[in-house]
Amino acid sequence: MAKRNNSFKAVVVKEHPVQSIREAGLYKLKLPDGAKITAVANSVFPHHDESFIQLILRHIADQQPDLLVIQGYMFDESAFQLLADTAKNILHKTPRTEALTRALQQGLFEGRVRSLAHECSQFIRRFADAAPNATVVYLPAWANMGLSSEHGIVDFIINKKQYLDNWTDGHLEAPERPSNPLDTLPSDFAELFELNGDPQIQVLPYGAGLMVNDETLFLDGAFRRRHAGDASLIQWQQMGYSIVQSIDGKASSAWATTPIHTMPEPIYKSHCAHEIGYTWDPRKNGQYGDYHRRCPGFFAGTVFFNKVFGNTIVPEAGADGRRSIWVHGKTYTEESPGMAIATTHMERYKGKSKG
């Protein structure tokens, strides 16, 4: 017999937002042969991998790509939740970075949001400033696939402000108020994160895709698969274009050819499918778990014969723990190990027990 206190409990189901690429839009861009492209994603600022980001920025400053694609999941939703003290993950404790500490010092919820959003916009500007002549296209993520999507952050801010404003209106005599109902926050992502007035950065709608030379599609991705490469492969099978996508931090590159026709001789079409990995710091983002197929990385490519040729770049660690990346024939190496594996408790214990 069921216990009474377990019967007829209310169940609240939160809507999982979905946006089709047909509605969001497919934005086309034509690049000449020789044009270089760099794509990054999954930074979850302010808990990003700063040392890896610096390697990417050195590559961008040196190579001066013509196109920079920011493919979503760039900011940490848990950091914004902490602005209202509503972080719900009791296992993961959101680190207090300098940017988050400054935001928490702003008093009311609106000031905190604006402070952290400004820090986020400055983080994006670092990529744009490294290549001042590049076209920067931002693809904000619309679905929470286990990561912090841009849509999820804006949705949280809107709903949390409404809740705090209702509390403030109902407690006018309270000595402390969490928000100011007369202070409105933008619901538009680009406006809230101070990117709408930037002449170099174009922010596309949630779920939109960027088509380069009618051949290669850059998008956030909507398929979550267990193995690296599966999501981009399914996306290619369904859409027919070469794919460069972010999703949940897996890194892979694959190439294939398919026949167009065989008369009078075989004619083939080449395809590529890339998942660009993550640029967050695993030491600060335990909420993502230790899914071993996730891998740091970004995409670098060049246009030849009207097609985008490139691959996902992943860092390799040397004997001294410093990581390096090799892009377009040039190597970039950390000055000091940015992600050295910490000594385990057992190793420390063994070291102390010798003799």
Higher-pLDDT residue of 228, 80: 80
Q: How far apart are CA 252 and CA 225, in angstroms?
A: 13
Lowest mean pLDDT among 22-26, 101-105, 263-267: 263-267
Q: What is the mean pLDDT of residues 3-16?
A: 58
Q: How many DSSP H helices and E strands does the chain contain?
A: 9, 15
pLDDT tens track for 222-277: 777 878 888 888 888 888 899 999 988 889 999 988 888 888 888 888 889 999 99
Higher-pLDDT residue of 199, 347: 199
pLDDT at res. 264: 85
φ/ψ of 71, rounded to 5, equals: -105, 45
Q: What is the mean pLDDT of residues 307-316?
A: 95
pLDDT at res. 256: 86
Say what percent of the chain tops pLDDT 90.
62
Q: What's the chain's Rg over C-alpha atoms?
A: 23
Is the pTM higher than 0.75? The answer reads yes
pLDDT at res. 353: 43
pLDDT at res. 291: 67
Q: Locate the DSSP E strands across the chain.
A: 26-29, 36-40, 67-70, 135-138, 201-203, 209-212, 216-219, 242-245, 251-261, 267-276, 298-304, 307-313, 316-317, 323-327, 330-333
The tokens of 1 are what?
A: 């017999």
pLDDT surpasses 90 at 162: yes
To 10 degrees, what angle do helices 150-170 and 109-130 make?
160
Which of these, 122, 128, 120, lies nearest to 38 by C-alpha position? Answer: 128
Q: Are 279 and 60 in contact (CB under 8 A)?
A: no
pLDDT surpasses 60 at 220: yes
Q: Assign 354 a pLDDT band (cuts: 50, 70, 90).
A: very low
pLDDT surpasses 90 at 87: no
pLDDT surpasses 60 at 201: yes
Which of these, 232, 236, 215, 230, lies nearest to 306 by C-alpha position? Answer: 215
Q: What is the mean pLDDT of residues 152-167?
A: 95
Which of these, 90, 69, 72, lies nearest to 81 by C-alpha position? Answer: 90
Q: Is 229 contained in some domain?
A: yes
Which of these, 139, 62, 51, 133, lies nearest to 300 by C-alpha position? Answer: 62
Q: Are 37 and 300 in contact (CB under 8 A)?
A: yes
φ/ψ of 69, rounded to 5, equals: -115, 120
pLDDT surpasses 60 at 305: yes
φ/ψ of 153, rounded to 5, equals: -65, -50
Q: Is 351 contained in some domain?
A: no
Q: How much is the mean pLDDT over the chain? A: 87
Q: Are 71 and 245 in contact (CB under 8 A)?
A: yes
pLDDT surpasses 90 at 299: yes
Q: How far apart are CA 217 and CA 108, in angstroms?
A: 42
Q: How many domains does the chain have?
A: 1
Q: What is the mean pLDDT of residues 168-189?
A: 93
CA dihedral 151, 156, 158, 160 (to 10 degrees): 180
Higher-pLDDT residue of 343, 56: 56
Q: Which residues contact 69 (CB under 8 A, 6 or more apart)?
A: 37, 38, 39, 40, 136, 137, 139, 210, 218, 244, 299
To 10 degrees, what angle do helices 109-130 and 50-63 make?
40
Buried b (16+ CB within 10 A) or exposed e, 288-316: beeeeebbbbbbbbbbeeebbebbbbbbe
Q: Read out DSSP for 129-172? A: HHSTTSEEEE----S-SSS--HHHHHHHHHHHHHHHHHHHHH-T
pLDDT at res. 290: 72
CATH number at residue 130: 3.60.21.10
pLDDT surpasses 60 at 346: no
Number of other residues whose CB lies within 10 A of the CB of residue 119: 20
Q: What is the mean pLDDT of residues 178-203?
A: 95
Domain membership of residue 27 as a residue range: 19-340
pLDDT at res. 344: 42
